[in-house]
């Protein structure tokens, strides 16, 4: 209880409220302390990779080059640290989903979601789970950067990795908080049910634009109810084999209105789509993938597209208080940069292995005050409400 009290009264330094970008944001400070935009920093990071490739300098990514190690670590945390799901959670009661008078693809998805809830044990508990606490470990790996120009493709970088841990709290409706530490780099993020925010040492505190959306780490097998809620408006695309499992494939996509709300300045979100693969044999979610495409157009520069794809294998389901919870998984993320007028592109791959060490439902004494945003964001929220 003492740790929770100290967490609630923690004070944050006032920071400029910049939008929470869902993609690589490896640096916020240039040489001499010059403040840069996140997208300028992304371009700097890519040029850094290209320069290393041209100079045949391969001592990077956690191997003896501290500057490169910091850049790669920030890229890992920016992409895999606390990504958000594609859409907001539905307000429709999950237990009341109808399969009548709806398209076949939608009714099939409803049936698959109901089977998933039954398989995890959530149908029996219904609304008895109000909050959860989870602690786990991660290993993040920056694999390589592939740089291509026309038919010429070269790989830059060496494989390296760092271990870390995270603590996650969640409370209905829509409140969550996560702290992730990897190799001395730390991300703190949260939601009070109305606004999502994130704090990093290199970007300070910043808020997410657009509708409130859940943390992706929560819906990848940790909270089956939220996962089912995510796919209540899904369509069933058919079947696909993942490993040794035949799966039903469900798809949800952010609508145009929410996509427009999430765009900011030169960065325009084009689409965000999520796919869930549910085992036909067990009914459990075993793979989840989402793809996020952003177009960046700055004055005097060519249009650049950034596509971030994260695919997560989910497994090691164990029963916790009557609910099957996934206790381990592996995520593979790809950041693909390409332009309209140039044949040059880059593709960076990174991985995360994660494991849940402990899960507790209905945490005693966990109040809404625990999820209050940092002071600067909270003040802006109160003025706008």
Q: Which residue has the higher pLDDT, 329 or 144?
A: 329
Is residue 250 within 8 A of residue 276, CB to CB? The reply is: yes
Q: Which residue has the higher pLDDT, 151 or 364?
A: 364
The three-state secondary structure class of 27 is coil
Average pLDDT (263-279) is: 93
**So what's the pLDDT on residue 60?**
37
Token output for 3: 């740790």
Least confident of 132-141, 173-182, 207-216: 207-216
Q: Which residue has the higher pLDDT, 162 or 4?
A: 162
Average pLDDT (50-55) is: 54
Question: Is the pLDDT score of 204 beyond 90?
Answer: no
**So what's the pLDDT on residue 6?**
40
Q: How many CB atoms lie within 10 A of CB 268?
A: 16
If you ran DSSP here, which 8-state letter would residue 32 be given?
A: G
Q: How many CB atoms lie within 10 A of CB 381?
A: 16
Average pLDDT (304-319) is: 95
Average pLDDT (320-343) is: 90
Is residue 30 within 8 A of residue 36, CB to CB? The reply is: yes
Q: Which residue has the higher pLDDT, 201 or 52?
A: 201
Whole-number Å distance between alpha carbons of 185 and 179? 11
DSSP 54-92: HTT----SSSS-HHHHHHHHHHHHHHHSSPBPSSPPP-S
Average pLDDT (85-90) is: 87
Token output for 380: 């802006």
Q: How far apart are the first and last CA of the chain?
A: 31
Residue 385 pLDDT class (50, 70, 90 cuts): low
Question: Is the pLDDT score of 317 beyond 90?
Answer: yes
Residue 63 pLDDT class (50, 70, 90 cuts): very low
Whole-number Å distance between alpha carbons of 308 and 84? 12
Average pLDDT of the chain is 81
**So what's the pLDDT on residue 32?**
36
Percent of the chain scored above 70 by pLDDT?
74
Count of all residues that appear for the chain in the document: 385
Q: Which residue has the higher pLDDT, 53 or 261?
A: 261
pTM over 0.75: yes
Question: Is the pLDDT score of 337 beyond 80?
Answer: yes
């Amino acid at each position: 209880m003492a740790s929770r009290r100290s967490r609630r009264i923690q004070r944050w330094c006032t920071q400029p409220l910049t939008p929470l970008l869902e993609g690589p944001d490896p640096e916020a400070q240039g040489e001499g302390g010059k403040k840069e935009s996140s997208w300028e920093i992304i371009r700097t990071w890519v040029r850094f990779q290209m320069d290393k490739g041209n100079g045949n300098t391969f001592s990077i990514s956690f191997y003896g080059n501290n500057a490169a190690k910091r850049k790669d670590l920030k890229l890992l945390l920016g992409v895999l640290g606390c990504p958000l799901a594609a859409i907001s959670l539905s307000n429709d009661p999950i237990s009341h989903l109808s399969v009548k008078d709806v398209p076949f693809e939608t009714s099939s998805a409803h049936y698959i979601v109901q089977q998933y809830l039954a398989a995890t044990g959530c149908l029996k508990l219904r609304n008895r789970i109000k909050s959860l606490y989870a602690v786990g470990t991660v290993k993040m790996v920056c694999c390589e950067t592939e740089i291509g120009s026309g038919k010429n493709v070269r790989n830059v970088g060496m494989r390296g990795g760092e271990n870390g841990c995270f603590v996650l709290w969640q409370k209905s409706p829509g409140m969550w908080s996560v702290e992730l530490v990897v190799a001395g780099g730390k991300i703190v993020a949260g939601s009070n049910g109305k606004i999502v925010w994130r704090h990093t040492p290199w970007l300070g505190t910043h808020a997410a634009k657009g509708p409130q959306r859940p943390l992706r780490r929560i819906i990848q097998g940790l909270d089956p109810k939220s996962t089912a809620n995510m796919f209540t408006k899904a369509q069933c695309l058919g079947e696909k084999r993942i490993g040794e499992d035949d799966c039903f494939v469900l798809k949800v996509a952010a609508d145009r209105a929410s996509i427009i709300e999430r765009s900011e300045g030169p960065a325009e979100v084009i689409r965000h789509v999520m796919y869930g693969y549910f085992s036909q044999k067990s009914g459990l979610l075993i793979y989840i993938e989402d793809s996020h495409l952003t177009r960046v157009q700055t004055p005097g520069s060519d249009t650049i597209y950034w596509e971030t794809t994260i695919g997560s294998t989910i497994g090691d389901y164990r029963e916790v208080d009557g609910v099957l919870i996934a206790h381990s998984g592996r995520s593979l993320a790809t950041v693909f940069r390409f332009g309209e007028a140039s044949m040059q592109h880059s593709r960076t791959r990174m991985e995360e292995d994660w494991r849940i060490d402990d899960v507790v439902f209905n945490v005693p004494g966990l109040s809404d005050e625990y999820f209050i945003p940092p002071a600067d964001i909270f003040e802006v929220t109160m003025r706008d409400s």
